[in-house]
């Protein structure tokens, strides 16, 4: 018996590093997973992996979640397919890095849209369905960048967007409590995903600069983030709402 047996879970960004591992973990715990991504092939691969592991997953791609109408569509499709919705994991994001003042207005807007609009849009359209269900859970992927400044790489819009996600989490928790909706943020430190591993290559200086702020002096594995997300989504976490959980190897402790 899984901790999420029968729950309908919408996960965004399921073609990516964390989204793929999250899909596998949620399905392993008995959830019916709907996964949306802008990338068709990567999303299909995730669906394939989940099904091969014996889990239940439906993929919806391509879908651009910066467009509110497309965000509405995946929510409506999920509810139509499974008769309701219990959990939303707002994991998808697209972002840009760069130092001031080279960081353009367009870079700023693209990051705020890619990191802050997406979880707002999906939460907004999921909200009435969670209310109708008698409650549910929204988990927002934030970042330690929403809690402390980061030197490598320069990240003004990323920092602002993730502080925004943490603030939005508190506010939605307050507004959702009367309807049984819990809202929680998870703020990872640096995670080694297939994409980040490939991008960093053998640049040991960059790897050391990124992991140097953690106390454990290493990247997280996606599983180390996702296991907490699965717990927060389950009824075992019924007393947890409005909180932000750093999973950052101690980076925000000093
Ligand atoms: N990787 C890290 O070190 C790290 C650290 C802290 C927080 N996070 C957060 O964790 C989450 C997942 O990160 P990841 O490393 O797996 O990233 P990733 O880039 O591997 O995955 C993100 C996924 O979102 C999808 N996506 C992006 N824009 C989209 C859009 N407009 N519509 C639909 N799908 C879209 C991408 O196609 C991709 O598959 C993000 O919210 C990120 O900010 C990651």
Distance of CA 14 to the CA centre of its chain: 9
State the distance from the centre of ligand 1 to the C-alpha of 90, rounded, in angstroms. Answer: 10
Could you tell which of 92, 166, 247 is best to mutate to test the pocket of ligand 1, judged by most ligand atoms within 8 Å of the CB?
Answer: 92
- On whether residue 233 sits in a domain, the answer given is yes
pLDDT for the residue numbered 80: 96
Strand partners, 188: 247
Question: Are 147 and 252 within 8 A, CB to CB?
Answer: yes
pTM: 0.98
- On whether residue 30 sits in a domain, the answer given is yes
What is the C-alpha to C-alpha distance for residues 12 and 65, in angstroms, rounded to an integer?
9
pLDDT for the residue numbered 1: 83
∠ at Cα 177 (176, 181), nearest 5°? 60
- On whether residue 53 sits in a domain, the answer given is yes
Domain that holds residue 113: 8-188+222-246
- On whether residue 151 sits in a domain, the answer given is yes
State the distance from the centre of ligand 1 to the C-alpha of 13, rounded, in angstroms. Answer: 6
pLDDT for the residue numbered 152: 87
pLDDT in tens, the chain (254 residues): 899 999 999 999 999 999 999 999 999 999 999 999 999 999 999 999 999 999 999 999 999 999 999 999 999 999 999 999 999 999 999 999 999 999 999 999 999 999 999 999 999 999 999 999 999 999 999 999 999 999 889 999 999 999 999 999 999 999 999 999 999 999 999 999 998 999 899 999 999 999 999 999 999 999 999 999 999 999 999 999 999 999 999 999 99
Cβ–Cβ contacts within 10 Å for residue 97, how many?
15
- On whether residue 193 sits in a domain, the answer given is no
What is the C-alpha to C-alpha distance for residues 140 and 42, in angstroms, rounded to an integer?
22
- On whether residue 91 sits in a domain, the answer given is yes
Question: Are 42 and 16 within 8 A, CB to CB?
Answer: yes
- On whether residue 201 sits in a domain, the answer given is no
3-state secondary structure of 160: helix
Pocket of ligand 1 (CB under 6 A): 13, 15-19, 37-39, 42, 63-66, 91-94, 114, 141, 143, 188, 190-191, 193, 195-196
- On whether residue 202 sits in a domain, the answer given is no
What is the C-alpha to C-alpha distance for residues 170 and 175, in angstroms, rounded to an integer?
9
What is the C-alpha to C-alpha distance for residues 6 and 108, in angstroms, rounded to an integer?
40
Number of separate domains in the chain: 1
Q: What is the DSSP letter of 87?
A: E
In a 13 Å sphere around the CA of 126, the CA atoms on its Cβ side amount to 32
Could you tell which of 16, 20, 63, 186 is best to mutate to test the pocket of ligand 1, judged by most ligand atoms within 8 Å of the CB?
Answer: 16
- At 139, which CATH number? 3.40.50.720
């Amino acid at each position: 018996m899984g901790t999420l047996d029968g729950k309908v879970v919408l996960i965004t960004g399921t073609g990516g590093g964390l989204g793929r591992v999250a899909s596998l973990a949620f399905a392993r715990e008995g959830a019916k997973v709907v996964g949306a991504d802008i990338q068709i092939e990567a999303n299909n691969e995730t669906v394939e992996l989940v099904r091969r592991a014996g889990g239940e997953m439906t993929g919806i791609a391509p879908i651009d979640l910066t467009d509110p109408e497309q965000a509405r569509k995946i929510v409506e499709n999920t509810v139509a397919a499974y008769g309701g919705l219990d959990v939303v994991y707002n994991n998808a994001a697209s972002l840009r890095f760069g130092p001031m003042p080279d960081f353009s207005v367009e870079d700023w807007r693209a990051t705020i849209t890619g990191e802050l609009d997406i979880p707002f849009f999906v939460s907004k359209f999921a909200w009435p369905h969670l209310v109708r269900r008698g409650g549910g859970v929204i988990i927002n992927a934030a970042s330690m960048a929403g809690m402390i400044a980061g030197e490598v790489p320069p990240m003004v819009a990323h920092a602002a967007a993730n502080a925004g996600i943490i603030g939005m989490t508190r506010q939605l928790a307050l507004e959702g409590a009367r309807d049984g909706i819990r809202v929680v943020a998870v703020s990872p430190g640096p995670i080694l995903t297939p994409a980040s591993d490939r991008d960093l290559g053998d640049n040991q200086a960059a790897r050391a600069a990124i992991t140097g702020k953690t106390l454990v002096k290493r990247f997280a594995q996606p599983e180390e983030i996702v296991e907490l997300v699965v717990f927060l989504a389950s009824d075992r976490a019924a007393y947890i709402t409005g909180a932000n959980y750093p999973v950052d190897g101690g980076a925000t402790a000093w």
